[in-house]
Amino acid sequence: MHIAYVVHFAGPQVIEGRFGGRDPNPGATQKVKLICRALLKGGHRVTILSPNAVSHSGKYYPAGSERLTFTEGEVGVLYAPLLDIRGLHRLPAGLWLSRLFRREHRRSRFGGVLVYNIGSTTLLAAREGRRVGLPVILEYEDDALAINPGRESSWLSSAVHYAQRSTVERLTLARMNRLIHGALVVCPELARQLRTKNVIVVPGLLGDDIVAASQLPPPKFDGRRARVIYAGALTYDKGASLAVESLASVLHSVDLEIFGGGPLETRLRQMASRVPDRHSVTIRGFVDRSTLLQGLAGAHVLVNPHRLDIGRGLQGSLFPFKVIEYAATGVPVVSSLLGTQSDRFKGVFRFFEKDTPEALGTAIDDVLHNHDRFRHASVGMREAIQSQHSIDGVSKKLASVLATAQRKGS
């Protein structure tokens, strides 16, 4: 099947030309590539149709293309034109992408459409797919009904955002439900929002690189200085600031390393200068993939402090992509309750229930105090995680949902 994969994506040429070679969203880029590889592994042909990479530069970017090469094969990337002006890019982006889809379908004859998340652009693409009789599959990662915009906010802004979600987003979700023939979701809670029963749960994918980096047993904690790592965007909702603030209540001596970039970087550096003397904080920023994976595999504890509640507004149902990568290392993990949306991690991860530095600090201390037990449980789960979430494992899951969608869409 020739699959049109509709997703916001920036390939190497765009990253180099528009972002100076530094990927603004490396986690998302990695996941798109792994999905493509899983589809190629299943014998499918894949073309990415991207609305282009938004940077709010105020410029117009024409349509473009490039190719990605993997061990499983090649993927073409086609970019729609982009009017990169904040607040004005969405409508023309959707229309341009629809036109790109129609043109490429006439030229290459797609056999199916995979759309990433629920929004105006992907809704238009899904509608185009149904119009020409193609099966449409939804890749659902970010809860369309989450009522908070992903930043620290007041009661008033949360209420305004909730009102918006109660109208536009609910209508968009309802319309998408009428268009899709199947879905892959990151957690079971998202499946409950969908009408289709042709759903698979794919909380994450693993490349060969992280499996190779995690072959050796993770380091044991000798009771002296612990290496604790956070990897992800430096934004309020991801909880990077919680990780730094938690050190005030951690009794063990900790060297906290933060990998990633984002709007909170300056604030985090200021916070880092005020942690107790027994701790240290190093903000490593964006690093190459191999450096990141070596860091993860060499840590004593990995933290996922993704907030559950922002400005009194629940984030909704989601599952952070990095949690699967964390689990694949065999290193003990401390996580917010978002990690409980996969039952397999209960009894292995150390969860903390409240979005407070004290709760996170207590959890880190607990893991370090009982490090051998948590390490043993994490290593015991590692092989199963690596197998089930490998490219081959996810490819087999995708085969079933694609086959069912094809029957329903024909």
Rg (CA), the chain: 21
| Rama region for 219: left / alpha / beta (φ>0; ψ in -120 to 50; rest) | beta
pLDDT at 80: 94
Alpha-carbon dihedral of residues 136, 137, 139, 140, nearest 10 degrees? Answer: 90
Q: Is the dihedral of CA 110, 114, 118, 119 positive or negative?
A: negative
Between β-strands 82-84 and 59-61, what pairing exists: parallel, antiparallel or unpaired?
antiparallel
pLDDT at 25: 86
| Largest Cα span, the chain | 65
* Rounded Cα distance, 297 and 329, in Å: 5
pLDDT at 248: 96
Cβ neighbors of 16 (< 8 A, separation 6 or more) are: none
pLDDT at 149: 45
Write out the chain's pLDDT in tens, 410 residues. Answer: 999 999 999 999 999 988 888 888 888 899 999 999 999 999 999 999 999 877 778 889 999 999 999 999 999 999 999 988 887 777 788 899 999 999 999 999 999 999 999 888 999 999 999 999 999 999 999 887 765 544 555 555 555 555 555 577 788 889 999 999 999 998 888 899 999 999 999 988 999 999 999 988 999 999 999 999 999 999 888 999 999 999 999 999 999 999 999 899 999 999 999 999 999 999 999 899 999 999 999 999 999 999 876 543 444 556 778 899 999 999 999 999 876 656 678 889 999 988 899 999 999 999 999 999 999 999 999 999 999 999 999 999 999 999 999 987 65
Between β-strands 64-70 and 73-79, what pairing exists: parallel, antiparallel or unpaired?
antiparallel
Cβ neighbors of 226 (< 8 A, separation 6 or more) are: 252, 253, 254, 255, 300, 301, 364, 368
CATH H-level superfamily of 2-203+391-409? Glycogen Phosphorylase B; (3.40.50.2000)
The one-letter amino acid at 149: P
Among 254, 244, 263, which Cα is nearest to 151's? 263
The ranges of the chain annotated as CATH 3.40.50.2000 are: 2-203+391-409, 208-388
Query: Phi and psi of 293, rounded to 5°?
Result: -65, -35
Structural tokens at position 333: 């993990």
Instruction: Please answer whether residues 240 and 232 qualify as being in contact, where contact means their C-beta atoms are separated by less than 8 angstroms.
Output: yes
pLDDT at 281: 97
Between β-strands 309-310 and 313-314, what pairing exists: parallel, antiparallel or unpaired?
antiparallel
Cβ neighbors of 88 (< 8 A, separation 6 or more) are: none
Among 242, 276, 281, which Cα is nearest to 259's? 281
* Rounded Cα distance, 207 and 12, in Å: 18
Within 13 Å, how many C-alpha atoms sit on residue 293's CB side?
19
pLDDT at 150: 47
| Residue 309, helix vs strand vs coil | strand
pTM more than 0.85: yes
Thinking of the domain 208-388, which architecture would CATH place it in?
A: 3-Layer(aba) Sandwich (3.40)
| Residue 356, helix vs strand vs coil | coil
Between β-strands 333-336 and 350-352, what pairing exists: parallel, antiparallel or unpaired?
parallel
Between β-strands 225-231 and 253-259, what pairing exists: parallel, antiparallel or unpaired?
parallel
pLDDT at 206: 94
